[in-house]
A and B are shown apart, each in its own frame.
Chain A
Amino acid sequence: MATNSQPIEGSSLWNDAWIRLSKNKLSIVSLWTVVFIVLACFIGPFIYGVDPNSGELPNKLLPPSMEYPLGTDQIGRDLLARILYGGQISLLVAFAATAISVTIGIAYGAISGYVGGKIDNTMMRIVDGLLALPFLIIVILFREVISGHIETVGKYLTEVQGWNRDFVLRYQNIIPLFIAIGASGWLTMSRIVRTQTASLSQLEYVEAARSLGLSHTRILFQHIIPNTLGPIIIFTTLTIPSFILYEAALSFLGLGIEPPNSSWGKLIQEGANYLETNFTVLLFPALVFSITLFAFNFLGDGLRDALDPKASKD
């Protein structure tokens, strides 16, 4: 991201955008909230130093106290440590899935828009077809297919290569989840990139690049894709919270994160069982979860206003 230095010889798009963004208080608060939550989840556990997996049954479902800032869960584990640790997995799954979906989306959309014609048409019809099913259904199907294969690999690693079983099982649970979410979540991104690419490749500078004899790959990656970055960044920021949400929904249904792993969705599901007697077990994970979603969404809205001032309607 561009820095906030004095404008030299006019200001670039990124500079302008940054200035507009920093004027939007809500977005800046959201940006700091996101930074804080990410740091808390990934660095916080080292500072806090409480094991999220150890607990004693007599200490179960305690209210917040000096010893347990957010209380304890149903088997006496420290809730704050579990929220931080669960956040790691929630965020990791969302980030990894976003990386996958953005990569596929850009490649697919750029090729479709750049090549044009019948290929473009077919590629976009495929996207339309996949968009016709609810996203959650596609993810669940994909996850089923991928887990089957990952399990085979996991078996090989533990039985033949002698890897640590717990370690393998842990990742056997996480990897199919983010691959499935990422591999199904690129559809809208590819549409956005395609529209941009199709209109950009009609422009004169691309024609000039072509007549200079540059290769298609170079034109695409150096001259077209960089110009579509604005919409890509906006949509990526909005993709992350939606993937956090989908991971949580899947975990809630028992089709996502499973013990010994944990995530915000899993914590909410566990908390919901003790709702009537111990409200805090649901409240705190749900609160952190919702604040994260809020922050990402407001940041995305702010980025849209900053990078694309014309598009902001309300």
Chain B
Amino acid sequence: MFRLIISRVLQAFAVVFFLFTLTFFAIRAIPGDPLSTDDKSMPEHVKEKIEEYYGLDKPLIVQYGRYVKNVLMGDLGLSTSKPGRTVNEIIVQSLPASLLVGIGGITVAVLLGIPMGVIAALRKNSWIDYSSMAVAMIGICIPTFVLGPLLQLWVASKTDWINVAGWDTAADILLPSLTLGVGSAAYLARLTRGGMLEILSQDYIRTAKAKGVPMLPIIVKHTLRGAMMPAVTFLGPAFAAIISGSFIVETIFQVPGMGQHFVNAVTSKDYALLQGLVIFYGFLMAGANLLVDIALLLLNPRLRDAT
């Protein structure tokens, strides 16, 4: 199992390196350069000086080599849209807000989705089952950018203690997390329900029931572990959804996180920042997928022997 984990880690690094190379050349395939967007009047010698400063005057392959070296040493370069600031600085500053909202979103998804799926499976084909699955379908089909404003409206009309947007008090994390988590909660509920139903129909559950084991131990000890497999597998993609969702949620609720910087980097053609964020997201995703893989190995002994 240890060897399996090592090989997964190496794979994760390979993936990040692949993405890194791809984005490097993709970004440089965009016609024009970061400096020529607005200031067409910039004198030639000034431009050359600036290009030299950012290292844009070297041949592509030299730039690539230099960039690889810098990134390996943890330096993601200089932002061109925010002069004088490094990409590292920007990421470090905006990471906490994004991380909090992301963790909030995952928490909402897990706390809402898994119990809903378990209850729906236990009361299969009852009104509880139907209504919770209907709610789940609504959760899947109502996108964050509709849900967010609706929540804002609702909060604005009901309470005073939560701000509609902004990032000043601790309560400001509630609405973004909720908006972000509901969609994933809906998927989790459906997957958990499916997983539960499959395990509940197994022979060993029937045996346990026949031997007179009460329902609660059956669920907690015998069912949940196996039933969690599809849900845990989904946590990888869920993490991706949370990152994409954070772009929108941070815009709606004015959270000073990385998502906003990503959108700004695209619109202002700040390629250093853009690439830095892509690498960072790649790392986060690789890490998340790695954790999911390890969790699956721990949950399912059969996977450990397979490879």
**When chains A and B are docked, how far (Å) is the Cα of A43 from the Cα of B251?**
35
| B276 contact set on A, CB distance < 8 A | none
**When chains A and B are docked, how far (Å) is the Cα of A311 from the Cα of B54?**
55
Known: A148-B31, A290-B141. A141 touches B23 (CB 8 A): yes
Known: A145-B29, A255-B263. A268 touches B141 (CB 8 A): no
Q: Assess whether B197 is in contact with A314, with CB atoms less than 8 Å apart.
A: yes
Asked if B204 is an interface residue, CB under 8 A from chain A, the answer is no
Q: Mark B188-228, 1 if CB is under 8 A from A, else 0.
A: 00100110011000000000000000000000000000000
Q: Assess whether B31 is in contact with A132, with CB atoms less than 8 Å apart.
A: no
Known: A145-B29, A254-B263. A132 touches B19 (CB 8 A): yes
Residues in A243-290 with C-beta less than 8 Å from chain B? 245, 248-249, 252-255, 265, 268-269, 271-272, 275-276, 279, 282, 286, 289-290
Asked if A48 is an interface residue, CB under 8 A from chain B, the answer is no
Q: Assess whether B30 is in contact with A145, with CB atoms less than 8 Å apart.
A: yes
**When chains A and B are docked, how far (Å) is the Cα of A279 from the Cα of B267?**
30
**When chains A and B are docked, how far (Å) is the Cα of A254 from the Cα of B263?**
9
Judged by DSSP, the binding face of B is: helix
Give the shortest distance, in Å, between B241 (CB) and chain A (any CB): 7
- Please tell me which one of the listed residues B23, B194, B251 contacts residue A313 in the complex, with CB atoms under 8 A apart: B194
| B18 contact set on A, CB distance < 8 A | 126, 129
Give the shortest distance, in Å, between A159 (CB) and chain B (any CB): 15
Give the shortest distance, in Å, between A291 (CB) and chain B (any CB): 9
How many B residues face the partner with a CB closer than 8 A?
52
**When chains A and B are docked, how far (Å) is the Cα of A43 from the Cα of B86?**
53
Known: A132-B285, A134-B241. A275 touches B145 (CB 8 A): no
Q: Assess whether A255 is in contact with B266, with CB atoms less than 8 Å apart.
A: yes
| A265 contact set on B, CB distance < 8 A | 145
Q: Mark A120-149, 1 if CB is under 8 A from B, else 0.
A: 000000101110111111001110110011
CB-CB nearest in chain B for A251: B145
Q: Assess whether A137 is in contact with B197, with CB atoms less than 8 Å apart.
A: no
| A140 contact set on B, CB distance < 8 A | 262, 266
- Please tell me which one of the listed residues B143, B193, B281 contacts residue A314 in the complex, with CB atoms under 8 A apart: B193
Asked if A16 is an interface residue, CB under 8 A from chain B, the answer is no
Q: Assess whether A134 is in contact with B153, with CB atoms less than 8 Å apart.
A: no
Most buried by B among A144, A249, A269: A144
Residues in B139-172 with C-beta less than 8 Å from chain A? 140-146, 148-150, 152-153, 156
**When chains A and B are docked, how far (Å) is the Cα of A42 from the Cα of B9?**
51
Asked if A152 is an interface residue, CB under 8 A from chain B, the answer is yes
Q: Assess whether B15 is in contact with A129, with CB atoms less than 8 Å apart.
A: yes
Asked if A240 is an interface residue, CB under 8 A from chain B, the answer is no
Residues in B66-103 with C-beta less than 8 Å from chain A? none
Binding site for B on A (CB under 8 A): 126, 128-130, 132-137, 140-142, 144-145, 148-149, 151-152, 245, 248-249, 252-255, 265, 268-269, 271-272, 275-276, 279, 282, 286, 289-290, 293-294, 297, 313-314
Chosen A-B contacts, 10 in total, with CB atoms closer than 8 Å, are A128-B15, A129-B18, A129-B22, A137-B243, A144-B269, A252-B145, A255-B267, A272-B145, A276-B156, A282-B149
The 6 closest A-B pairs by CB, nearest first: A136-B244, A148-B30, A134-B240, A272-B149, A148-B31, A293-B141
